[in-house]
Structures are given as C-alpha cells and as structure tokens.
Structure 1
C-alpha cells in the first residue's frame, strides 16, 4: 500500500468528500446571515426568527424612551406582563448612540407575544408627548431662593411641574444665569409660573425690608407715624409670668439661619467688631412684626392709668420688663441685668442689644402677649478680622459702625461661617456684605484696607471661602435636580 503525504487512500477519499460538504454548509450559513441582515424595513427595525421564538429590535427616539419605561420602570414591566414577551432597552456601548437621537428596544418571545408587545411599544411612541426646551435669564439676586437650601426648592419645582429645570453653573457670580426648562408645553408653562412666583416672593421680601428700613427712625428718635396694623388688644389685663427659666429665655432668641445660607440683617448695636448685635430681617410674621410690637407697647404703656396696676412689684435680675429708652419716648422689652445707685436699674434691651439705666419706678410689667415675639437682637462677631493691638480702637469701632449702618436700619447680607469662643461667650462669626451700592463691599476687607484691623490669624472654617456670590448657596447643586 502506497502513502501520499502520509495519508492512506481511504483518508484521501474522505477529504475529497468532506471539504466540498464543509464549503457547502459554510455557504448556507453565510447566505442565512445575509438574509437576516437584509431584513431591515425602512424604519430600521430588525426581526430574527428562530423556531417559535422571535426577536424584534425597534429604534426608538430618545425623547420617547421615558414614556416606554414609565416611572420606575412601571410601563415596560406592564407591557411584559400583558404580552408575555421580554422587552428591554439595549445598553449603550458608547456615546455615539446618544448623538443619533435613538435607542434600541429588543423584544423576545413567541411570535404572537412579540407582535403584541411591538404594537404596545409603537403605541407608546405615537402617544409620547413632544418635549421642548426653552431658555430664560434669571437675575443673580433670585438664584439662591430658586435653588433653595441644598437644592431642595428647585427639586420641588421640578417635581411639581414635571419639567426639568437646570440653572447654568460657573461664570461670573454677579451675572444673570441661564435657566433651561425642558418638558411639554404645559409643563414648561407651569414651571415658568412657579419660577415667577418665587421671584414675586423674593420681591415681596425686598419690598417689606425696604419699608421697614424707611419707616424705622435712627435709634433715639421718635416714631411719629401711628401703627397701620395693631394686633395687640390694648385693654387686655394680662400679667407677665413671675419667673422665666433660663431654658425659656434661650428659646426666645431668634434662631439663626443655616451655615450655608445668606440672610438679610440690620446691625442694631455695636460694642466693637468682635461684639455687636444684629436683627434678622423677614423672619417674624406680619402679626408679630417688631415695629408693630414696639408701637403697640408704646401706645399701651403711655396711656393714662388709674393706680399702679402695671408697675413691677418685685424686680429681680433676669426679669423681662417693659422699659422706656432715655433717648426717646418709646417703650421696649428689656432684661434686668443689675442694680445701680439711687434706685436706677441696669437693663439690656433684648430686641436691639444696647443697655440703659432706668429708674425702677419707670419699669412696667409686660403682658404675656408682648412676650410672643422672639428676642430680635443676636450677639455676633465679625469673621476675618482682629484688632491691630490687644483692644479695638475707637477709630475702628467708628468705622465699623459707619460700614454697617449701625441703628440706621439699612440691610446687609450676612452668613454664619463658624462659631467662635470669645469673652462674651460662644458667638456666631459672621461674614457681612454691603449690597446697597453698585459694587458689593465685604466689611472685613474694608476694615483691613483702612488699616484699622488685621487678618484673623485663627482659621475660621475649612469649608467656606470669604465672599462667594451673594444670594447663592455655597455650592451650585451638581446637576440642579436632574
């Protein structure tokens, strides 16, 4: 027996038969693949049948994907449950598909199930709302309110309107911001109305603050205009509680806004930049407005009375009483802090922060309804500065009073950077900014530039920089409630 290339005659014969058969089967396989690849209707869909199982792929406009999926996948799950077919979107392997504006839905199952699921998917596509995007410009003054603390407000606006609201980040913090609103025409209109309402509310706060600033006279002058709205009954014979605990005293202080928020304030009294008092604007309800309270108290305690029904029978340190102010004819809430010679009492005016001496016979017992408003004066210190020497100079104090419009009732913007331990206790350390002029002025920087203070040597806070944009939160929310 002869060998050919190491093969027997039988092996050679087997090769002669096998090679053409293999080539034939390969031909059939490629032919089948070409037929499958050629089955693309004009809409780009693809259908592959295998036995009783069918796979259909549908190109879906990206804007319709949400309608097919539904909230938390509820709609696509319902399609699968109703038809018995498997329906899912193909994972994006790269971002090039995003630029085409389409996503691919793959439907698997029996022929009749797939056909039914395909009809439902196409129905979703046909009924999907048209999504538009509009752009509006929002002045920087309103950005902080619209975004809200940690983005809570803008997320709420998106949820209520069902539109997507996105405010641009970056750029100059003093410039207006571009706001993009995406959704149906109805959703966009609703979202714009909600934004208009937020702007209206901010304007209303500004208006009330401006009125309060205009109506208030500098400390020490008279309030000549009568109160437009008096919410306190002048003939109500209600007596002050005889004792107020320290916890009750603490609860009567104005709560400070959160670390990350700017808020409007009046500077009501100054000892020096390291110890002053502020009043927070816009906090009290109209019924308990400080100006209304002061005028109501003045009217009540200035009236002629029979007997001595309002006089304080027993005066103790810590009592809250009604007391006049030596530089005007008005009445104020005051705390007894000490006793002086000749029947004088040292009092601290809890709504302004300054002190005065009043004869004990002049003190009146407060009605309980006059105690409802939290004490308006909050002790603070200025962040970012220290005195040139051990103590603050008179020139520095005068300059600080000038920069802060002390007792002139002109609003500043404030932000709590930290809390600092001082000789007056633990005080909120504030950044103060004057926004009344064309250019915003950082009070601490002005003091240092005037040569009346030096930069604070202790670190105030690791997470805050001095002078971020006013009326914006410390950080723009990353995706603006996407």
Structure 2
C-alpha cells in the first residue's frame, strides 16, 4: 500500500518555500506503509501461566492485557529472561527515531495503518508501535486515535508525534493480547457498563497472574483465570467478579 505525496517549490522574493498541492490521481513520491506485523502469532498454549497487566476493559468478555515478561510461562521464567523482546525492540526504535528528522507529512494517516509513536517523556524519547483507529481535524490541528499494539490501550495523540514505521520493526508480533474471563458468560441483555468498571477496579495498577484455560485462534483471544497474588492469600478475580455480577 502506498501514500501519494505531491511537492511544489514556488519562487517568492528569491526564496523557495515548500507548498503542498493536492491533485487527485497525481503521484510524484511514494512511501510504503504497513497494516500488519510480519511476525508469527503470539498466542500461547492452554495451561500457560503468564504475568499480565490489564490495560483496557471493554467488557469481562473482551479486555486487553500487556505481558511485562513477554509470553514466557512463569513456570519456566528465569531472571536472565526478564529483558523481553519488546524492551529490545523499543530500545532499537528509540535509537532509530532519535536520529530521524521530523518531516512534513503530506497526507493524514489512514485507519488500520501502523505507525511509530514518538514522544518526549521526562527528557527521554519514548517510542511505541501503534495502529491508527480514527482521525479528526486537519493539518496542524489533526488528532489521531491510536491503539498501542504492544501495550493494549488507546489514546488520542497529535499527528505530529506519528512517524512512518520502518519494516525493521515489524518482525515482532503485537505484544498485547485480547482476553476474556473464563466461566463468565455474556448475559442475554448484554453487559451493563458497571461490569466493565468493576473489572477495571479489580485489576488496575497490578501485575496479575493469568492461567490460560482456552485459546481461540480464530478470534485471537485467550480465556483466562486472573489471580491477584500480592497478598498472603491469592484472590481469584473471576470468582470475585461473579459474586457481584452473578448471571441469573
């Protein structure tokens, strides 16, 4: 897939400012863009035990998790494996994009397109891979809704923070996974918004243990039992949720 760009130099008072002209069907420069990663699917096996952070809750049957230690089963995790593939990827992206000059984007990002999101945080360049969800506004006021494919959350960001994603950063599959709570069935009337809010409260700002009970490869989703192991007695979040939202 390619994005059309048109450049035009106009001489004005012995200077040559750059203007953008729009001509339907006219292309003078092309830039490759991507809509999917090239790496193999990240889905793990049934029976795996993972460390997860819940980052986005749509409903108990659809929420996103980030894997702080990668897709390595906690039963086999060693200290020397705690530096994940994602950490190495983001480090390489920071090195790459800090030496890449900011260029005027000649067209708006398209929904579904993969981009690199680069932002200065606490004096340091922070880079992530994102997928474009929506675009609003024009030119300098343009805002883009993006999904962080390795962390599992959405944000509106300024278009100027987005850069073409180099093919060298496509080898790793998205590191965020979609999950559902095992044993929690969707009610006939659908989920009450309070259900998502309650699950968010139970899981926010915690590294949890997820026991994978089911792998749905067709819909790229895991069935999990979430456990809070921060206290002396483990808390089964699935059971805690059901005590308040028991399906009749």
Normalising by structure 2, report the TM-score.
Answer: 0.64
Judging by fraction of residues, say which structure has more strand.
2
Matched, 1:363 2:162: yes
Q: Is the 8 A contact 1:420 1:429 kept in 2?
A: no
Matched, 1:346 2:183: no
1:15-46 Cα deviation digits (max 9, x unpaired): xxxxxxxxxxxxxxxxxxxxxxxxxxxxxxxx
- 1:71-470 matches, cutoff 5 A: 242-244=32-34, 249=37, 252=39, 254-280=41-67, 281-283=69-71, 289-298=85-94, 300-301=96-97, 303=98, 306=101, 308=103, 313-314=106-107, 315-324=109-118, 330-342=126-138, 343-386=142-185, 390-394=190-194, 396-404=195-203, 406=204, 408=205, 410-417=207-214, 419=216, 427-449=221-243, 451=244, 453-455=245-247
In structure 2, the gaps of 5 or more residues are 1-30, 73-80
**What is the DSSP-based 3-state SS (H/G/I as helix, E as strand, rest coil) of the residue aligned with 2:32?**
coil
Q: Is the 8 A contact 2:211 2:226 kept in 1?
A: yes
Computed over aligned residues only, the root mean square deviation of the Cα atoms, in angstroms, reads: 3.6
Shift of 1:335: 0.8
**Measured at CA, do residues 352 and 254 of structure 1 come closer, stay the same or move farther in structure 2, by a change above 3 Å?**
farther
Provide runs of 4+ in structure 1 moved above 4 Å: 284-288, 304-307, 311-314, 324-329, 386-389
Task: Kindly indicate whether structure 1 or structure 2 has the higher relative contact order, using CA contacts under 8 Å at least 6 residues apart.
Answer: 2
Q: Residue in 1 aligned with 2:5? A: none
CA distance in 2, matches of 1:426, 1:367: 25
**What is the DSSP-based 3-state SS (H/G/I as helix, E as strand, rest coil) of the residue aligned with 1:436?**
coil
The count of aligned residue pairs is 202
**What is the DSSP-based 3-state SS (H/G/I as helix, E as strand, rest coil) of the residue aligned with 2:43?**
coil
CA distance in 1, matches of 2:52, 2:209: 5
CA distance in 2, matches of 1:418, 1:377: 15
Shift of 1:297: 3.3
**Measured at CA, do residues 263 and 374 of structure 1 come closer, stay the same or move farther in structure 2, by a change above 3 Å?**
same
**Measured at CA, do residues 371 and 287 of structure 1 come closer, stay the same or move farther in structure 2, by a change above 3 Å?**
farther
**What is the DSSP-based 3-state SS (H/G/I as helix, E as strand, rest coil) of the residue aligned with 2:164?**
coil
Judging by fraction of residues, say which structure has more helix.
1
**Measured at CA, do residues 312 and 296 of structure 1 come closer, stay the same or move farther in structure 2, by a change above 3 Å?**
farther
1:242-275 Cα deviation digits (max 9, x unpaired): 2446xx54x5465222223333323232223221
Q: Residue in 2 aligned with 1:10? A: none
